[in-house]
Structure 1
């Protein structure tokens, strides 16, 4: 198997794109969907919940999926997950019961938790060193671009009928044949049956996990609250609001493409420091600018920062996780990733009872700058420790 072939890389990227489309493809359908289920007493709330509902089940299932693929192999679950992805994702087109649609969204989340864990683990299995850095950056960039494509296409189709965007989830069936043709099971992927060997990752891996969750808690405030914030400063055109949110994804893709070159020069800690600093400046621009142009500057900076940090976290986990438990660790990474998205509104929205949108973004900007300083300080401390160790070894 030639892992450098375009067929293998394209298949991995196509499976990766299923993750981003699972959440946002039906965004434009929500207003008309709310009207369709307005007779239900809790209809509007449940419709809004349908957008983020998959994230909860992604977070729940990913760790289990990681353990399973370590034991039985990477690819045995993938085909099944892609089929049920289409079934659960398209539920809104076929079903008239909102609760059953939510059940379909839960099934979609379970399938994404499986496919996401498998594809990240396969990237770690197939690639090493520079090749891994390049592909991890490319993976996040393509996922970001895919997000723009799917949300735009979903908006276009929703103008005809709110149900039609749900059919886009059949894209997983189109990807299915390529997974059988081009992806192969890594020989070393099955967990050793020896019970006398306990294999663990370095403790620092938990710092990366929690940091991944924190990144998404902070970043997910943008799609959740920027539309409302723009309304408060006089931006009434929905198209401009959509452009602002989509631009964050675009700038994220740009910096992800550059990740490998940046990683050649900087440590993991330094990249996190830069990423948080860019996001901090971006949130400060949003908070203090009070204009659409300054919000766009904030979107640019925030997107650039997040686009660096996601592949940075992925590659760091790939570097830290032993091959024997790589699936489990990638499952944990996926869990913390989507748990951050799910709990972001739960954690941050209560602050709006005390602070205005501008004040909240400024408060978060301060937190982001503190996190940046913390990672730069960690890099300085670890570099100093390495130098001291080298000096002591010489003498």
Structure 2
């Protein structure tokens, strides 16, 4: 980051703000049983909506954020992001009905969506090429670190605050307010932090031109498949672990946190190191899709044998899901004729497509669970519920094979593809 008065402070504010958004993204998951009892919810599909309700407005905000960034710049886009994140999270304190709670999640979704084009444009515009690989590795870590913290801390926080889920969720909004105050105070409007291609003026037909690219369509499909699984698994995992292992909510949350997103953090570090070492983006992406599929298959069939096998399957899935993330963000930046605005818009486009599926998958998965449970012939409702969760997850696992084929169809963009041709300088594909 060049010409910035406080580059380390800026980076810390970006990482902490976006990080909190990912912590809160899946925040209801460890508390679904508590929310079910509080609001008297019977349907799994309606209960899972508390997680996926963020996605419609998030999609609209992320697409619109590409245009907003052209008008107000990245600094102010981050202020807008923090405003909606903070407002949505703090609304937990006044959520006396399930409707108000869903509304708070929707407001948060606007902030989450605005953060997507922000982080894409910020990494390309404010950081040097060498720094971009590191920042994209961190960007790939966000979903896993956020989900791990969410699964691991929310139930203990619920207990600390006297069995108050509103405080356990709302407390994160105070952190967002602090970040916003420091950002507005210390990041100057006139600063230009050009480490990449620099700021770009408004561009007509931005999304239309991006959508014409075959690579963008494939990336959209890959994110659809990935977030379909990620969203559903993250929604049901603490409940699933509690039921199959006869665990407390806190123990189920902790095991879920370390078996899936915790290993995902390791996978993202390995994926970033692997793509830097070999200079290619497709191998870690492809290996990741296969590991995810194999991991979910082991989860489903391991549930009939032992809890440790399920944990191993979750770890395989987490490793695969982390492995591909840093590479896909670098690949998006290395496509032909990209600049910060196009990168931010491209991130918004394929991540929004993914989260559209992420909105549907928990609701669809809940419906599948309700449909499959009576088919189990189980002697009690709890075993029937496990049967429904398990086989609905098995169906979702096949999305990873579609994403594997899509990765194979992408063109390699990394500098490693040029080594056999004797080209020493990396050239963007």
Give TM-score scaled by structure 1 length.
0.82
Q: Give the match for residue 329 of structure 1.
A: 346
The aligned residue for residue 27 of structure 2 is 25
Once the 2 structures are TM-superposed, how far is the Cα of residue 387 of structure 1 from its aligned partner? Answer: 11
Contact 2:30-2:154 at 8 Å conserved across structures: yes
Q: Does the aligned pair in 2 maintain the 1:18–1:112 contact within 8 Å?
A: no
- Which residues in structure 2 correspond to 1:159-170 (within 5 Å)? 159=159, 160=162, 161-165=164-168, 166-170=170-174
1:278: how far off?
A: 0.9
> 1:189 — aligned with what?
199
Per-residue CA deviation, residues 235-290 of structure 1 (Å, 9 max, x unaligned), is 34434422332121111111112223211316332222100111122112112223
1:82-97 aligned within 5 A: 82-97=82-97
Q: How far does the alpha carbon of each residue in 1:132-188 deviate from its partner, in whole angstroms, 9 at most, with x for none? A: 122211233255334333443322232211221223222111111343324745563
Higher mean alpha-carbon deviation, 114-123 vs 145-154, is at 145-154
* Aligned-partner Cα distance in 2 for 1:164–1:114: 25
Residue by residue over 1:44-72, the C-alpha shift from the partner in whole angstroms, topping out at 9 and shown as x without a partner, is 97664233222222122110111210233
Change (3 A) 1:266 1:379: farther
- The Cα offsets for residues 206-249 of structure 1, whole Å up to 9 and x where unpaired, read as 21122112111123332234445446645344344223321211
Report the number of matched residues: 384
**Helix, strand or coil for the counterpart of 2:246?**
coil
Equivalent in 266, 274, 277 of residue 262 of structure 1: 274
Q: Kindly report which structure 2 residues correspond to 1:98-117, keeping only aligned pairs within 5 A, or say none.
A: 98-117=98-117
Contact 1:89 1:104 in 2 (8 A): yes
Of 248, 259, 274 in structure 1, the residue corresponding to residue 287 of structure 2 is: 274
Preserved CA contact (<8 Å) 2:242 2:249: no
C-alpha contact (below 8 Å) 1:117/1:330 kept by paired residues: yes
Tell me which residue corresponds to 2:261: 249
Residue in structure 1 matched with residue 221 of structure 2 by the alignment: 210
Give the conservation status (yes or no) of the 8 Å contact 2:281–2:327. yes
Give the 3-state SS of the residue equivalent to 2:75 in structure 1: coil
Q: Tell me how far 1:314 sits from its aligned partner.
A: 2.0
SS at match of 2:76: coil
Instruction: Compute the RMSD of aligned alpha carbons.
Output: 3.6
Whole-Å separation in 2 of the counterparts to 1:32 and 1:280 = 31
TM-score scaled by length of structure 2: 0.77
Distance in structure 1 (CA, Å) of the matches to 2:244 and 2:97: 38
SS for the counterpart of 1:258 is helix
User: Are residues 349 and 223 of structure 1, via their aligned partners in 2, closer, same or farther at CA, if it must alter by over 3 Å?
Assistant: same
Say whether residues 1:123 and 2:127 are aligned partners: no
Q: CA deviation at 1:27?
A: 3.9
Distance in 2, matches of 1:234 and 1:85, equals 35
Question: By how many angstroms is 1:10 displaced?
Answer: 1.4
